[in-house]
Amino acid sequence: MVLVGLVFGFVVGVGLMTGLHYCMLHRSRKRIQKIAAIRLLNSIQQDELRKLCGSSFPTWVSFPTFEKVNWLNHNLAKVWPSVVLATEQLVKEALQPILEQYRPPGIQALKLDKFNIGTVPPKFDGIRVQSLRKSQIIMDMEFRWGGDASIILGINPVIGPKLPVQLKNLSLFTTVRVIFQLTEEMPCISAVVVALLSKPKPQIKYTLKVIGGSTGAIPGLSEMIDEMIESAVADQVQWPHRIVVPIGNAPPDVLSDLGLKLQGKLTVQVIKATNLKNLEMVGKSDPYVRLYVRVLFKEKTRVIDNNLNPVWNEQFEFDVEDQETQSLILDVKDEDIGTDKKLGITSIPLAGLKHDEEEEITKNLAVSLDRDRVKDKGDRGSITVKVLYHPYTKEEQDAAMEAEKKKLEEKERLKNAGIVGSTMDAVGSGVKLVGTGVGMVGSGLGAGASVVGSGVGIVGSGLGKAGKRLGRVVTRHASSNKLTSPATASPVSASPMHQQNGSFRASITQE
């Protein structure tokens, strides 16, 4: 019995030791795999992680530089009703001139009839505090707001009655950068700078609803509202644009350093486009290029009729505020009666351009710059341009700032005179409306002829195309009679924070 007990004890002991050893090896392998996965995750950039996890993934979970701020969200929820009462009217008054500034050419008047922020407060997913420059504290805040705001716009189209349009289900996700400029005098802060970081790109989502009607009542309404909002955000508060708020007696030199200035000049020669997509039922598209670095300063090439491989060879110049973050946007469109159709769009980042060296670049076109959210991945052709970036000297910068001021004044004069529809108009886009009525008459004849019978459908379409040509001819004739000043050869606009005689003004910088 003793021998049996010893044997049994030995067997059980060996079994336990073997099992424990196996468990330790298994645990070690799991830990090694987990460490490898963590190292791989740490090597992923923030933008790549957002694509994998979506914008709803809190930044601080994956990036320890962002700290959780549940305490801030808790207190913000308590004070939000008071914030709404204190700021709602002020925000409404501040938004009205911005709407007028960025009003699309296809809309004659735009008014903010109702603005209600709602009862749902925003949330901050995380905050990162940095000190990149002496005497400055930089705070980046992941901002998210999916509120119950109610916004009603009164829209007067060029043709047709006024329509109330409601923006519902408004949501916003962005990174807010706040810069505190420190000083040795109380209250220890001389100025505050507020901006939205361009990466990740601010995401604004909403639903459009025409009260008592349909969005089809105004062709292209959704696209016009989308462009207006994106332009206003990009030119008002999206970095490098910023809002500078002086606190107390801020020194002028400090405000000058914080403000946005022109850094250089970009010369662009639009050469050609190839293999453009045809969007016409009869004939071919009539392409032109609308290009810009800052949306308030848009330029436009001439229209080339009935051609999917147009050659322009036209040259334009643009002022650049920040080479590291800004891009050249090339938007190819098909001129049409009413709303022009988008043939394709692309962008060229300025950060990769060498100074004072001309480069020829060919870029493929896409339906949207945000290619991850576009379902149509088909070929849209390509566009070829030559670009040259020249950094300004101090004297060139001062001259460019003065020239920009005069261009803005001239565009405001044209707007007040009714020659252009709004300060958002690119060259030629506002005056095109002068002859649009006649063009629509021809288009209407075409539509009417097509209704006579199916056998006459092609004839009607042909007359519609002819009406479009007639409208364009009359349009160009009327435009040539209107624009007689050389100053109107380029669009006029403003930069968000530019210095003028030692002081600063906040203005909207977009098409």
Encode the chain (511 residues) as per-residue pLDDT tens digits: 677 777 777 777 888 888 888 888 888 888 888 888 777 766 666 666 666 666 566 655 545 566 778 888 889 899 988 888 888 888 888 888 888 888 877 777 888 888 888 888 888 888 888 777 778 888 888 888 887 888 888 888 777 777 888 888 888 888 898 988 888 877 788 888 898 887 777 888 888 888 876 666 666 777 788 888 888 887 788 887 888 888 877 777 777 778 778 889 999 999 999 999 888 888 889 999 999 998 888 899 999 999 999 999 999 999 998 888 889 999 999 988 767 888 999 999 998 899 999 999 999 998 888 766 566 667 789 999 999 999 999 899 889 888 888 888 887 777 777 666 555 555 443 333 333 333 333 333 333 333 333 333 333 334 344 444 444 443 333 333 333 333 333 333 333 334 433 333 333 333 3
pLDDT at 387: 95
Q: How far is CA 163 from CA 13, 14, 60, 111, 414, in A?
A: 86, 86, 44, 11, 26
The answer to whether the predicted template modeling score (pTM) of the entire model surpasses 0.75 is: no
Q: Are 72 and 124 in contact (CB under 8 A)?
A: yes
Confirm or reject CATH 2.60.40.150 for domain 264-416, answering yes or no.
yes
DSSP class per residue in 49-75: HHHHH-TTS-HHHH-TTSBP-HHHHHH
Q: Distance between CA atoms of 372 and 50, rounded to whole angstroms?
A: 12
- Report the DSSP pairing between strands 123-130 and 243-246: unpaired
End-to-end CA distance of the chain: 99
Q: Are 16 and 8 in contact (CB under 8 A)?
A: no
Tokens of 389: 């970036």
Q: Distance between CA atoms of 478 and 483, rounded to whole angstroms?
A: 9
pLDDT at 45: 64
Q: Which of 297, 197, 189 is nearest to 241 (CA)?
A: 197
